[in-house]
Amino acid sequence: MQGRIIKLLSNDYTVYAEDEKEYICKSRGKFRNENIKPLVGDFVIFDDNNNYILNIEKRNNELVRPPVANIDQVIIVTSVKSPNFSSNLLDKLLYIITFHNINPIICFTKLDLLKEEEKGDIEHLLHYYKSIGYEVYKNTEIDKIKAILSNKVTVFTGQSGAGKSTLLNKLDETLELKTDDISIALGRGKHTTRHVELYPLFNGWVCDTPGFSSVDFSGMTSSDIRDQVLEFEQYKKECKYKDCMHDKEDECKIKELVENNVILPSRYHNYLKFIGR
Protein backbone atom coordinates (compact mmCIF):
# COMPACT_ATOMS: atom_id res chain seq x y z
CA MET A 1 0.00 0.00 0.00
CA GLN A 2 1.14 3.58 -0.65
CA GLY A 3 1.22 6.38 1.86
CA ARG A 4 3.14 9.29 3.33
CA ILE A 5 5.12 9.36 6.57
CA ILE A 6 3.57 12.04 8.76
CA LYS A 7 5.27 11.33 12.09
CA LEU A 8 8.42 9.78 13.49
CA LEU A 9 8.57 9.00 17.20
CA SER A 10 11.35 6.75 18.48
CA ASN A 11 11.52 4.12 15.72
CA ASP A 12 7.82 4.20 14.88
CA TYR A 13 6.74 5.78 11.59
CA THR A 14 3.13 6.89 11.28
CA VAL A 15 2.05 6.54 7.65
CA TYR A 16 -1.06 8.24 6.28
CA ALA A 17 -2.18 5.80 3.60
CA GLU A 18 -4.21 6.07 0.41
CA ASP A 19 -7.19 4.60 2.25
CA GLU A 20 -7.07 7.71 4.53
CA LYS A 21 -6.10 5.62 7.55
CA GLU A 22 -2.96 5.83 9.68
CA TYR A 23 -0.59 2.90 10.16
CA ILE A 24 2.30 2.59 12.63
CA CYS A 25 5.19 1.10 10.66
CA LYS A 26 8.76 0.00 11.18
CA SER A 27 11.67 0.54 8.81
CA ARG A 28 13.17 -2.49 7.10
CA GLY A 29 16.74 -3.45 7.90
CA LYS A 30 17.79 -2.95 4.28
CA PHE A 31 17.51 0.82 4.72
CA ARG A 32 20.04 0.75 7.56
CA ASN A 33 22.37 -1.38 5.45
CA GLU A 34 22.06 1.12 2.59
CA ASN A 35 22.49 4.04 5.01
CA ILE A 36 19.02 5.36 4.14
CA LYS A 37 16.70 6.76 6.79
CA PRO A 38 13.00 7.29 6.04
CA LEU A 39 11.99 10.89 6.72
CA VAL A 40 8.75 12.57 7.67
CA GLY A 41 7.23 13.66 4.35
CA ASP A 42 8.49 10.63 2.43
CA PHE A 43 6.12 8.85 0.08
CA VAL A 44 6.49 5.15 0.81
CA ILE A 45 5.22 1.73 -0.10
CA PHE A 46 4.52 -0.43 2.93
CA ASP A 47 3.18 -3.89 3.74
CA ASP A 48 -0.10 -3.33 5.54
CA ASN A 49 -0.06 -6.91 6.83
CA ASN A 50 3.05 -6.64 8.98
CA ASN A 51 3.44 -2.83 8.76
CA TYR A 52 6.96 -2.64 7.37
CA ILE A 53 8.10 0.13 5.03
CA LEU A 54 9.24 -1.61 1.84
CA ASN A 55 10.31 1.25 -0.41
CA ILE A 56 10.89 5.00 -0.34
CA GLU A 57 9.93 6.93 -3.46
CA LYS A 58 12.31 9.49 -4.94
CA ARG A 59 12.33 12.76 -2.99
CA ASN A 60 11.72 16.18 -4.55
CA ASN A 61 13.85 17.74 -1.82
CA GLU A 62 14.85 17.25 1.79
CA LEU A 63 16.23 19.12 4.76
CA VAL A 64 18.69 17.74 7.29
CA ARG A 65 17.56 20.00 10.10
CA PRO A 66 14.67 19.60 10.48
CA PRO A 67 14.75 16.09 8.92
CA VAL A 68 11.77 16.31 6.56
CA ALA A 69 11.27 15.63 2.83
CA ASN A 70 9.07 16.71 -0.09
CA ILE A 71 8.39 20.22 1.15
CA ASP A 72 6.66 22.98 -0.81
CA GLN A 73 7.58 25.89 1.42
CA VAL A 74 9.21 26.83 4.71
CA ILE A 75 7.87 29.60 6.92
CA ILE A 76 10.77 31.04 8.90
CA VAL A 77 9.23 32.29 12.13
CA THR A 78 11.43 35.23 13.11
CA SER A 79 11.12 36.93 16.48
CA VAL A 80 11.93 40.63 16.71
CA LYS A 81 12.08 40.61 20.51
CA SER A 82 12.61 38.04 23.26
CA PRO A 83 14.59 36.52 21.59
CA ASN A 84 15.90 39.53 19.71
CA PHE A 85 15.93 39.62 15.92
CA SER A 86 18.90 37.80 14.39
CA SER A 87 19.66 38.80 10.80
CA ASN A 88 22.45 36.21 10.82
CA LEU A 89 20.10 33.31 11.53
CA LEU A 90 17.39 34.58 9.18
CA ASP A 91 19.77 34.96 6.24
CA LYS A 92 21.38 31.61 6.96
CA LEU A 93 18.01 29.86 6.90
CA LEU A 94 16.96 31.68 3.73
CA TYR A 95 20.07 30.54 1.87
CA ILE A 96 19.89 26.94 3.08
CA ILE A 97 16.20 26.67 2.17
CA THR A 98 16.57 28.16 -1.32
CA PHE A 99 19.64 25.98 -1.97
CA HIS A 100 17.39 22.94 -1.44
CA ASN A 101 14.86 24.26 -3.99
CA ILE A 102 12.23 25.11 -1.40
CA ASN A 103 10.29 28.37 -1.28
CA PRO A 104 11.13 30.40 1.88
CA ILE A 105 8.57 32.67 3.53
CA ILE A 106 9.36 35.04 6.42
CA CYS A 107 6.95 35.61 9.30
CA PHE A 108 7.91 38.23 11.88
CA THR A 109 6.57 37.66 15.40
CA LYS A 110 6.34 39.51 18.72
CA LEU A 111 6.13 42.95 17.13
CA ASP A 112 3.90 43.98 20.03
CA LEU A 113 6.93 43.77 22.34
CA LEU A 114 8.87 46.45 20.46
CA LYS A 115 9.50 49.85 22.02
CA GLU A 116 8.31 52.81 19.98
CA GLU A 117 11.86 53.77 18.99
CA GLU A 118 12.53 50.23 17.71
CA LYS A 119 9.57 49.95 15.36
CA GLY A 120 11.06 52.01 12.53
CA ASP A 121 14.10 49.75 12.14
CA ILE A 122 11.95 46.62 12.03
CA GLU A 123 9.54 48.11 9.51
CA HIS A 124 12.55 49.00 7.35
CA LEU A 125 13.69 45.36 7.52
CA LEU A 126 10.24 44.07 6.55
CA HIS A 127 10.13 46.42 3.58
CA TYR A 128 13.65 45.53 2.47
CA TYR A 129 13.13 41.75 2.48
CA LYS A 130 9.88 42.23 0.56
CA SER A 131 11.58 44.54 -1.95
CA ILE A 132 14.20 41.95 -2.91
CA GLY A 133 11.59 39.28 -3.59
CA TYR A 134 10.78 37.40 -0.39
CA GLU A 135 7.25 36.79 0.86
CA VAL A 136 7.01 38.52 4.24
CA TYR A 137 4.17 38.44 6.79
CA LYS A 138 3.50 39.54 10.33
CA ASN A 139 2.13 36.98 12.77
CA THR A 140 -1.04 39.08 13.07
CA GLU A 141 -1.89 38.47 9.40
CA ILE A 142 -3.56 35.15 10.19
CA ASP A 143 -5.97 35.08 7.22
CA LYS A 144 -3.14 35.74 4.74
CA ILE A 145 -1.03 32.98 6.27
CA LYS A 146 -3.96 30.56 6.16
CA ALA A 147 -4.37 31.27 2.45
CA ILE A 148 -0.76 30.37 1.58
CA LEU A 149 -1.03 27.04 3.45
CA SER A 150 -3.79 25.69 1.23
CA ASN A 151 -2.80 22.49 -0.61
CA LYS A 152 0.86 22.86 0.38
CA VAL A 153 3.31 21.02 2.61
CA THR A 154 4.66 23.75 4.87
CA VAL A 155 7.43 23.54 7.42
CA PHE A 156 7.49 26.05 10.27
CA THR A 157 10.99 26.63 11.58
CA GLY A 158 13.16 29.28 13.18
CA GLN A 159 14.88 30.30 16.36
CA SER A 160 13.93 28.66 19.65
CA GLY A 161 11.23 30.68 21.38
CA ALA A 162 10.30 32.63 18.24
CA GLY A 163 6.67 31.52 18.49
CA LYS A 164 6.26 28.72 15.95
CA SER A 165 3.87 26.61 18.00
CA THR A 166 1.99 29.71 19.17
CA LEU A 167 1.46 30.78 15.57
CA LEU A 168 0.25 27.32 14.58
CA ASN A 169 -2.19 27.29 17.48
CA LYS A 170 -3.57 30.64 16.28
CA LEU A 171 -4.02 29.19 12.81
CA ASP A 172 -5.91 26.21 14.23
CA GLU A 173 -6.58 26.10 17.97
CA THR A 174 -7.49 22.41 17.77
CA LEU A 175 -3.80 21.59 17.25
CA GLU A 176 -3.09 22.44 20.91
CA LEU A 177 0.68 22.38 20.39
CA LYS A 178 2.71 22.82 23.55
CA THR A 179 4.28 26.24 24.08
CA ASP A 180 6.56 27.53 26.81
CA ASP A 181 8.07 30.75 28.05
CA ILE A 182 11.47 32.17 27.21
CA SER A 183 14.29 31.11 29.48
CA ILE A 184 15.41 34.40 31.06
CA ALA A 185 18.83 33.04 32.02
CA LEU A 186 19.63 31.78 28.53
CA GLY A 187 17.79 34.47 26.57
CA ARG A 188 16.22 31.89 24.28
CA GLY A 189 13.22 29.66 24.11
CA LYS A 190 12.79 26.40 25.92
CA HIS A 191 12.48 23.52 23.48
CA THR A 192 8.85 22.44 23.47
CA THR A 193 8.63 20.55 20.16
CA ARG A 194 10.37 17.19 20.59
CA HIS A 195 9.74 15.45 17.30
CA VAL A 196 8.91 16.12 13.65
CA GLU A 197 5.28 15.64 12.65
CA LEU A 198 2.98 16.66 9.80
CA TYR A 199 -0.48 17.93 10.77
CA PRO A 200 -3.39 18.17 8.30
CA LEU A 201 -4.39 21.81 7.89
CA PHE A 202 -6.30 23.73 5.20
CA ASN A 203 -6.18 20.85 2.70
CA GLY A 204 -2.42 20.65 3.14
CA TRP A 205 0.12 19.60 5.76
CA VAL A 206 2.06 21.70 8.23
CA CYS A 207 5.09 20.74 10.25
CA ASP A 208 6.17 22.21 13.56
CA THR A 209 9.84 21.46 14.12
CA PRO A 210 12.14 21.47 17.15
CA GLY A 211 13.53 24.97 17.68
CA PHE A 212 17.21 25.65 17.37
CA SER A 213 19.65 28.52 17.79
CA SER A 214 22.24 27.64 15.15
CA VAL A 215 22.47 25.86 11.80
CA ASP A 216 25.30 25.26 9.37
CA PHE A 217 25.90 25.13 5.64
CA SER A 218 26.55 21.40 5.34
CA GLY A 219 27.00 20.40 1.69
CA MET A 220 27.24 24.01 0.46
CA THR A 221 30.31 25.71 -0.99
CA SER A 222 31.10 29.42 -0.77
CA SER A 223 29.83 29.77 -4.34
CA ASP A 224 26.60 27.99 -3.40
CA ILE A 225 26.04 30.49 -0.59
CA ARG A 226 26.80 33.44 -2.88
CA ASP A 227 24.32 32.19 -5.47
CA GLN A 228 21.44 32.22 -2.96
CA VAL A 229 21.77 35.95 -2.20
CA LEU A 230 19.00 37.54 -4.26
CA GLU A 231 20.64 40.98 -4.49
CA PHE A 232 23.88 39.47 -5.77
CA GLU A 233 22.05 37.55 -8.48
CA GLN A 234 20.32 40.73 -9.58
CA TYR A 235 23.49 42.79 -10.03
CA LYS A 236 26.30 40.23 -10.58
CA LYS A 237 26.57 40.92 -14.33
CA GLU A 238 27.71 44.45 -13.50
CA CYS A 239 30.82 43.18 -11.67
CA LYS A 240 34.17 43.24 -13.49
CA TYR A 241 34.73 39.51 -13.01
CA LYS A 242 32.26 36.88 -14.16
CA ASP A 243 32.76 34.70 -11.07
CA CYS A 244 33.14 37.56 -8.59
CA MET A 245 32.84 36.55 -4.92
CA HIS A 246 32.15 40.18 -3.97
CA ASP A 247 34.93 40.17 -1.43
CA LYS A 248 38.43 41.35 -2.39
CA GLU A 249 37.83 41.87 -6.12
CA ASP A 250 38.12 45.33 -7.67
CA GLU A 251 35.31 47.01 -9.59
CA CYS A 252 32.71 44.94 -7.73
CA LYS A 253 29.21 46.32 -8.21
CA ILE A 254 27.93 44.57 -5.08
CA LYS A 255 30.43 46.32 -2.79
CA GLU A 256 29.51 49.63 -4.39
CA LEU A 257 25.82 49.03 -3.71
CA VAL A 258 26.55 48.08 -0.09
CA GLU A 259 28.52 51.30 0.42
CA ASN A 260 25.58 53.25 -1.01
CA ASN A 261 23.08 51.37 1.22
CA VAL A 262 21.22 49.99 -1.80
CA ILE A 263 22.06 46.52 -0.48
CA LEU A 264 21.42 46.13 3.24
CA PRO A 265 24.88 46.13 4.91
CA SER A 266 23.85 43.39 7.36
CA ARG A 267 23.08 41.08 4.44
CA TYR A 268 26.53 41.64 2.98
CA HIS A 269 28.38 41.29 6.30
CA ASN A 270 26.45 38.10 7.09
CA TYR A 271 27.47 36.75 3.69
CA LEU A 272 31.16 37.43 4.39
CA LYS A 273 30.87 35.59 7.72
CA PHE A 274 29.13 32.66 6.03
CA ILE A 275 31.92 32.19 3.49
CA GLY A 276 34.60 32.57 6.19
CA ARG A 277 35.89 36.03 5.34
What does the pLDDT average to over 90-114? 95
- Tell me the mean pLDDT in the region 125-151: 96
70 vs 210, higher pLDDT: 70
CA atoms within 13 A on the CB side of 31: 15
What Cα–Cα distance (Å) separates residue 218 from each residue in 68, 211, 271?
16, 18, 15
Output DSSP code: residue 143.
H
Domain boundaries, the chain: 2-58, 63-208, 222-274
> Mean per-residue pLDDT for 101-117?
96
CA 228 – CA 192 distance, rounded (Å): 31
Please give the single-letter amino acid code of residue 104: P
Closest CA to 122 of 156, 167, 86: 86
β-pair partners for 3: 17, 44
Q: Distance (Å, rounded) from C-alpha 202 to C-alpha 174?
A: 13
Which secondary structure element, helix H or strand E, spans residue 222, and what is its range?
helix 222-226
Q: Do domains 63-208 and 222-274 have the same CATH topology?
A: no
Fold type of domain 222-274: Ribonucleotide Reductase Protein R1; domain 1 (1.10.40)
How far apart CA 73 and CA 84 sit, in angstroms, is 24
72 by DSSP, 3-state: which? coil
150 vs 214: which has the higher pLDDT: 150
Check residues 63 and 184 and name the one with the higher pLDDT: 63
pLDDT reported for residue 214: 56
What does DSSP assign to residue 258? Answer: H
For residues 125 and 111, is the Cβ–Cβ distance under 8 A?
no
Which CATH class, in words, describes the domain spanning 63-208? alpha beta
- The CATH architecture one would assign to domain 2-58 is Beta Barrel (2.40)
What pLDDT score was predicted for residue 82? 92
List the single range of 116-130, 134-148, 169-183 with lowest mean pLDDT.
Answer: 169-183
Task: Note the pLDDT tens digit of each residue in 164-210.
Answer: 888 988 998 777 655 544 333 333 344 444 678 898 999 999 987 66
Quick: pLDDT tens for 147-168: 999 999 999 988 888 888 889 8
pTM for the structure as a whole: 0.87
Cα four-point dihedral sign 63, 66, 72, 76 = negative
Does the structure show a pLDDT above 70 at 6?
yes
